[in-house]
């Protein structure tokens, strides 16, 4: 296997309005540790990750350094990057940071960027490693879980129009993982065409390139509401039973 440099880009620049809390959701404690710190831990403890880029609002940089980074003695180098007005802007800022860092390193043959939600703290090493290996082989990979519920398509009046065949339906998760040249090209194409995607993979799809799915986990939840926070606490307390 040829040499790669693997960057985790953790995006936590949102306001977290759905949580209904005065504190942004990424900074809320989950069993005594901030959600964002737990997310960083998942990548800091993974041998295949080289460095971490943390994308947060500029106004939060001092807070994050004091309350999220310094207290936990993370091993890997963490770069703080200013978030943008929208998630797509924030991700691009993180990607540009990685590109600038690696432009000074001519020895690395391939750079892999893993774009991850800052409030998705339960990602495991198997998911991270599978996404990296698939991105090396195919260029783009995201984790996903097969949808097992029946899916209905509604009309404007909320009446059911049809039942969707769920055989090939998957719920997308993160880290969405790409060769850096491919994802930067996808972002540039999106800018030129005025395209706004619901996730990073949709930009690569819009470009016309293939994105493959790796096995995700139903435990890899995104904490956006109070109910998610309760579920997160349950997952931590029962980790040994459900792992």
Question: Alpha-carbon distance 99 to 87, whole Å?
Answer: 18
| Among 134, 133, 213, 206, CA closest to 172 | 213
Flag whether pLDDT at 206 surpasses 70.
yes
Question: Three-state SS across 92-120?
Answer: HHHHHHHHHHHCCCCCCCEEEEEEEECCC
pTM: predicted TM-score of the whole model, two decimal places = 0.94
Q: Per the omega criterion (within 30 degrees of 0), is the bond before 237 cis?
A: no
pLDDT digits (tens, 9 = 90+) for 123-139: 999 999 999 999 999 99
The architecture CATH gives domain 4-242: Alpha-Beta Complex (3.90)
pLDDT class for 1, splitting at 50, 70, 90? very low
């Amino acid at each position: 296997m040829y040499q790669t440099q693997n960057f985790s880009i953790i995006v936590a620049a949102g306001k977290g309005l759905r949580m209904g809390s005065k504190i942004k959701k990424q900074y809320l404690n989950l069993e005594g540790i901030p959600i964002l710190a737990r997310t960083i831990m998942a990548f800091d403890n993974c041998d295949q990750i080289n460095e971490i880029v943390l994308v947060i609002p500029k106004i939060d940089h001092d807070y994050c350094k004091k309350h999220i980074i310094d207290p936990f003695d993370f091993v890997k180098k963490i770069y703080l990057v200013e978030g943008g007005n929208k998630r797509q802007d924030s991700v691009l800022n993180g990607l540009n940071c990685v590109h600038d860092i690696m432009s000074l390193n001519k020895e690395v043959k391939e750079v892999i960027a893993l774009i991850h939600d800052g409030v998705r703290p339960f990602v495991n090493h198997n998911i991270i490693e599978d996404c990296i290996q698939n991105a090396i082989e195919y260029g783009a990979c995201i984790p996903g879980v097969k949808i097992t519920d029946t899916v209905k398509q509604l009309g404007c009046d909320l009446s059911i129009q049809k039942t969707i065949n769920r055989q090939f339906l998957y719920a997308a998760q993160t880290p969405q993982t790409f060769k850096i040249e491919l994802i930067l090209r996808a972002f540039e194409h999106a800018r030129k065409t005025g395209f706004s995607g619901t996730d990073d993979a949709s930009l690569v799809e819009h470009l016309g390139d293939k994105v493959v799915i790796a096995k995700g986990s139903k435990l890899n939840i995104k904490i956006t509401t109070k109910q998610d926070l309760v579920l997160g606490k349950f997952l931590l307390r029962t980790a040994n039973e459900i792992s």
